[in-house]
Amino acid sequence: MAVVSSSKIAIIGAGISGLAAAKQLAKYKPVVFEATDSIGGVWQHASFRSTKLQTPRCDYEFSDFPWPDRDNSSFPSHTEIIEYLHAYATHFDVLKFVRFNSKVVELRFVGDREGGGCGGDYGQLLAGHPAWEVAVQTGHDPEAVQRYMFEFVVICIGKYGDIPKMPTFPVNKGPEVFKGKVMHTLDYCKLSEEETSELFEGKRVAIVGYKKSAIDLAVECAEANQGEDGKPCTMVIRTLHWTVPHYSVWGLPFYLFYSTRSSQFIHERPDQGLFRAFTCLLLSPMKRAISKMIESYLTWKLPLEKYGLKPDHPFHEDYASCQMAILPENFFSEADQGRIKFKKASKWWFYENGIEFDDNTKLEADVVICATGYDGKKKLEAILPQPFRNFLDYSVSNLQAAELRCIWLARLVEGRFKLPSVEKMLGLIAMEVEVMKRTTRFYKRQCISTYSINHNDMLCEEMGWTSWRKKNLLLEAIIPYTSQDYVDK
């Protein structure tokens, strides 16, 4: 039997998005269901000891809660981020809404499909009667499931963490034939410092992947394998991507290339008309020139050619799909010492003593760690009913976008504006996919990076806010947007 909750709104997840949603919807006293025993999401459960924010703190802060030391240009560690999130949750008194160890295992739509929460010609989103049944498992007992009824549900379960994306293999080529240890980075995150040293010291380690988790892990592995008995750690690379040592290029701040209104002008965006599409086409040589300039800097600055790590695709394709990783300081110095090695292979599988590749070579290993990312789609599929599962492509989000979306959502719930028709929204999503396909071969990894200001403009306009929020045109052109620009004025 489902219980009608005294609260109208449920929020699922207490990472940055869930906390921002709870703060914006606080007047409805939402119930926040959090599967784990803590807030912070990936910063708590999918971080290594060395994990830091990839940007300075002023690019990852809530609009109404600046970091205490926001001008400190060092990248905060994941523990500092957790502290910051705790301070935010405490300051705005939202922890009281969170029910920890409460995992949502099923959502059922029980509302009126015509007038319900699907957009279109609906009345109020909070219609005065329940529309969603939320099944919640408390603790570890799968039998201990309680069902609650809510009028509105906000899903903030994140795209990363929780469910590892593990490679699959034909029979007799998977981990079952390997004598050593196989794990995913998510398992690695749970280890203590002592356990990680034990895992690495004197072991031949293979790390599958060449993105941020893999790169950070390779450095942790190399650092644990110093000295005479130290063994190299080998990165197994399927696709090369551009990596970046810091946020300046030939002495110019990186934000000038992709994060200002003028720099984003040359990139396609979903809601563009024919004229803009034509302008973008005309300006595409400029887009390529900027990308080439960054590529030439990176090739000069980093030993990419020496190690065969120079990607064939343009830098801007990695940027447009949020695949750019910031290198830890000593990555290439560890490689120079022979403690990090690289093996490029499009296909690989296990054998008794390690990994075999499609070029008929083998790599002996004691430990194989899959830094192969996460399956965010599976996380959503696990709880969403049809037809909602059909709309499952969703973009990576940073704190600024997550917060602005929550501000937008709170106003939508208040009935201050209405959603466009379902057809119009689906049309916009289709356009977004088309733009991504034209922009980057990695379009499946949807990301708003090259049109983030336009994305925020659209949210502002729907809320009735001014979208150009800087003091003058010069600032609009050359200064990037931060959360502070979206303080409700």
Q: Which of 8, 23, 57, 103 binds ligand FAD (CB under 6 A)?
A: 103
7, 44, 51, 398: residue in contact with ligand NAP (rule CB under 6 A):
51
Q: Interaction with ligand NAP in 223-242: which residues (CB under 6 A)?
A: 238-239
DSSP assignment, residue 374? B
- Minimum Å gap between C-beta 133 and ligand NAP is 32
Per-position b or e across 140-156, b if 16+ CB within 10 A of its CB: eeeeeeeebbbbbbbbb
* Torsion, Cα of 215, 216, 221, 223 (10° steps): 120
When CB distances are held under 5 to 8 angstroms depending on the partner's kind, the choice from ligand FAD, ligand NAP, none that residue 167 binds is ligand NAP
Q: Give the CB-side neighbour count of residue 366, counting CA atoms within 13 A.
A: 11
Q: Provide, rounded to whole angstroms, the least separation between the CB of residue 139 and ligand FAD.
A: 13
Nearer of residues 219 and 365 to ligand FAD, judged by Cβ: 219
| Pure H helices in 232-384 | 255-258, 261-264, 274-301, 315-320, 331-336, 376-381
Of the candidate residues 22, 383, 448, 459, the single one contacting ligand FAD (CB under 6 A): 383
Q: Does 314 bind ligand FAD (CB under 6 A)?
A: no
Q: Which CB, 88 or 374, lies closer to ligand NAP?
A: 374
Check binding of 66 to ligand NAP (CB under 6 A): no
User: Quick check: 162 binds ligand FAD (CB under 6 A)?
Assistant: yes
| Binding status of residue 402 toward ligand FAD by CB under 6 A | yes
Residue 210 contact among ligand NAP, ligand FAD, none, beta carbon within 5 to 8 Å by kind: ligand NAP
160 binds ligand NAP (CB under 6 A): yes
Q: Is 208 in contact with 368 (CB distance < 8 Å)?
A: yes
DSSP-derived secondary structure for 451-470:
GHHHHHHHHHHHHT--S--S
SS3 483: helix
368 and 181 Cβ atoms separated by less than 8 Å: yes
Q: Are 173 and 196 in contact (CB under 8 A)?
A: no
Check: CB of residue 164 under 8 Å from CB of residue 375. Answer: yes
Encoding tokens for residue 328? 């830890």
Return the residue of 19, 208, 233, 399 that touches ligand NAP, per CB under 6 A: 208
Coil, helix or strand for 347?
A: coil
82 counts as binding ligand FAD under rule CB under 6 A: no
For the CB of residue 36, give the shortest distance to ligand FAD in the complex, in Å.
5
What residues from 367 to 386 belong to the interface with ligand NAP (CB under 6 A)?
Answer: 371-373
Positions touching ligand NAP (CB under 6 A) are 51-54, 160, 167, 185, 208-214, 216, 238-239, 371-373, 396
Positions touching ligand FAD (CB under 6 A) are 12-18, 33-36, 41-42, 46-47, 51, 53-55, 60, 103-104, 156-158, 160-162, 379, 383, 397-399, 402
